[in-house]
Structure 1
Amino acid sequence: MSKHKVIYDTDPGVDDAMALLFQVRHPDIELLGVTSVFGNGTIETTTRNALYLTGKFAPHVPVARGAGAPLVREAPGPLPFIHGHNGVGDIALPADDQLGGTLDPRPAHRFIIDTVRAHPGEVTLLAVGPMTNLALALAEAPDIAGLVKQVVIMGGAFGFHGILGNVSPAAEANIFNDPHAADQIFNAAWPLAIVGLDVTERTIMNAAYLADLRDAGAADGQFLWDVSRVYHAFHLSSEGLDGIFTHDASAVAYLVRPDLYTTRSGPVRVLTDGLAIGQTIQKPSTMPVPNPAWDGRPAISVCIDVNAPGVLDLYRATIVRG
């Protein structure tokens, strides 16, 4: 029996693809479904990529198409300079009618509701894109907050180690793309952990690491190498980094090895307007000063430090088997 039943809410995306393969190959994860959301591409692009990835690596796993725009704001444009024109590093993709994945007829938020209700207390929502699908599910079925096992998201930044935002000096992309949804899910009464830039940008797959995955990981390793070429080039040109940040795969690592992370507890708010829209701010549980904007909201575990070599070893051991 699998230890973690997961719905993967994602906007593939190169790092999303790398995180999906991590889940498929990890023995303690049972992937119940993939729900697409706008973000790294349009909803058409991210849904196609989800179908391609599940068809290639997990053909038994259904895909449910999700939200194409934020709750309030306009949808962002595609990011071809980061993820390639097709969203998955410009690797060759089959024709749309040959992707191999299975599209569930339900919208993503309804798939989430039905699956959580079918497995009370067992399902982890692992969300690595804008949180719109989760907010829509909560709005339609508030009872699921008491039925999920936990929610783990990749998103946000809290200023630890000098790390702030990646789309503005204040905001990380997943939160920025739908700050209203993020603030809503941070107020739900479910166990929630945030794996943000504070730890994902300290976990770096450098060029030698990626080459080792390619050489030692057989077909999986070659896929990871191929899909990460555009992403690697972006990091080199924008950050001077000869490697890539480990964003979405870090949320998977937290799920299976939370001992690799140091966390801080306390409620989290998201700024939903103004110059710093998308900023995530935690009031630590140890802070005694009253503040009604945070007080009364649930405590959230925010990752503030990481055993980065341990995370990289975990990823490699999961991909390079035998």
Structure 2
Amino acid sequence: MDKRLLMIDTDPGVDDALALQFALGLPQFDVRALTTVFGNVAVELATTNALRLLHLAGRADIPVAQGAAHPLAGAFDGGAPFVHGDDGQGNTNHPPAPTQAVAQPAAELLAEVVGRHPGQVTLVALGPLTNLAHALRVRPSLVHEVAEVVVMGGNAFCAGNATPAAEANVLSDPDAADVVLGAGWPLTLFGLDVTQQVNLPGAVLDELARLTGPLSAYVGQGVPFYRRFCERVRQIDGIYVHDATPLAYLLAPELFRFVHHPVRVDTPPGIGRGKTWPAPGGPAQLQRPALRPWHGRPAVKIAVGVQGHAVRPQSSALGLAWPGWASPAP
């Protein structure tokens, strides 16, 4: 079986931990490296969490490179402890792994791995896009060398979750997001338009909590904190699994529905900062003077729907199908 080579850029995060558990447990994926970025937590803590997850998975052979500590412009805003806990892992407060990150910066490792396997590596971005923006500066040819970029972020046609206008990952670094979404590489965007159609209900989470094995037990301990936030604030049964949705797409792209539009990100300070704006209409409309900010921008493949309960990934690490992974698309 041909495996898909992955590089995962992440800011763990409880839902990042679920996504990594999924990616590491599936035989279809070959995870070549992790890079870490500020976002849910400070980058140093994100790196500690990534190393711990790999150690518990028995995959300490996968290198981890620490990346950006702050956005391209401005300072780190402190993360989201009210969503993911003070440790980013549901206040599990486990000891760190015995391993360390490599000395190489994240952007350099990302560029190196893609350059070593041109046309084969899929970049999976689960946090702010700062590392990817830096990597484009390090190696501009990445746009032609990467197999695909899949991004969890944005809100093309719906409200945000960090503000009424913006989704959390993009809001953390709107300038980097605007660079990455305009770079011209093959990019698929999984924003709140579709990730809020994808959830694990409480009954499935209760089943997951009974799984054994070091990684499963650890992730299971971290989920309740995130679950309480989702059920209290988002008013859903269970949790959204934002960060695992792009991985489900890599397994079964036919289960998703897409539209294609150039996208700009609102970068100036103000109430709209971080909003992802797809340009309306086709090429003829894009020539209108009012749409000048989108002129020359590449079309982005935007996920807007998923075929409900057909999305049921199997994982030897989890030991079960995830019934109810997705709710029906509108």
Q: Please indicate the TM-score interval, normalised by the length of the shorter structure.
A: over 0.9
8 Å Cα contact 2:21/2:317 also seen in 1: no
Select which of 108, 111, 127 maps to 2:109: 111
Indicate whether 1:86 and 2:87 are aligned.
yes
Q: Matched residues in 1 for 2:314 and 2:76: separation?
A: 32
- 1:267 maps to 262
TM-score scaled by structure 1? 0.93
- Shift of residue 85 of structure 1? 1.0
- Shift of residue 126 of structure 1? 0.2
Summarize the Cα distance change of 1:315–1:272 in structure 2 as closer, same or farther, 3 Å threshold: farther
Q: Matched residues in 1 for 2:218 and 2:253: separation?
A: 27
- 2:205 maps to 210
Q: Deviations over 1:131-158 (max 9, x none)?
A: 0000001012101111000100000012
- Shift of residue 317 of structure 1? 7.2
8 Å Cα contact 1:179/1:277 also seen in 2: yes
Aligned residues: 314
Q: Secondary structure at the match of 1:293?
A: helix
- 1:43 maps to 43
- Shift of residue 189 of structure 1? 2.1
| Fraction of identical pairs, as percent | 38
Q: Secondary structure at the match of 1:267?
A: strand
- 1:288 maps to 284
- Shift of residue 319 of structure 1? 2.1
- Shift of residue 92 of structure 1? 3.6
Q: Matched residues in 2 for 1:241 and 1:316: separation?
A: 24
Q: Matched residues in 2 for 1:268 and 1:240: separation?
A: 30
Q: Which runs of 5+ in 2 are unaligned?
A: 322-330
Q: Matched residues in 1 for 2:313 and 2:294: separation?
A: 35
Select which of 137, 140, 146 maps to 1:148: 146
Q: Matched residues in 1 for 2:246 and 2:313: separation?
A: 12
Q: Which runs of 5+ in 1 are unaligned?
A: none
8 Å Cα contact 2:263/2:299 also seen in 1: yes
- 2:186 maps to 191
- Shift of residue 213 of structure 1? 2.3
Summarize the Cα distance change of 1:284–1:101 in structure 2 as closer, same or farther, 3 Å threshold: farther
Q: Secondary structure at the match of 1:31?
A: strand
- Shift of residue 223 of structure 1? 3.4
- Shift of residue 241 of structure 1? 2.1
Q: Secondary structure at the match of 1:22?
A: helix
Indicate whether 1:320 and 2:316 are aligned.
no
Summarize the Cα distance change of 1:301–1:318 in structure 2 as closer, same or farther, 3 Å threshold: farther
- 2:73 maps to 72
Q: How does 1:1-322 map to 2 (within 5 A)?
A: 2-57=2-57, 58-94=59-95, 96=96, 99-159=97-157, 163-215=158-210, 217-219=211-213, 221-273=216-268, 274-284=270-280, 286=282, 288-289=284-285, 290=287, 291-311=291-311, 313-314=312-313, 319-320=318-319
Q: Secondary structure at the match of 1:81?
A: helix
8 Å Cα contact 1:54/1:101 also seen in 2: no
Q: Matched residues in 1 for 2:314 and 2:221: separation?
A: 17
Q: Deviations over 1:92-132 (max 9, x none)?
A: 411x4xx0444111000000111111111111110010000
Q: Deviations over 1:3-52 (max 9, x none)?
A: 31111000000000000010001111100000000000011111110111
Output the amino acid matched with 1:90: N
Q: Secondary structure at the match of 2:218?
A: helix
Summarize the Cα distance change of 1:222–1:130 in structure 2 as closer, same or farther, 3 Å threshold: same
Summarize the Cα distance change of 1:101–1:31 in structure 2 as closer, same or farther, 3 Å threshold: farther
8 Å Cα contact 1:123/1:148 also seen in 2: yes
8 Å Cα contact 1:2/1:30 also seen in 2: no
Q: Matched residues in 2 for 1:174 and 1:268: separation?
A: 16
8 Å Cα contact 1:54/1:100 also seen in 2: no
Q: Secondary structure at the match of 1:137?
A: helix
Q: Secondary structure at the match of 2:154?
A: coil
- Shift of residue 218 of structure 1? 3.1
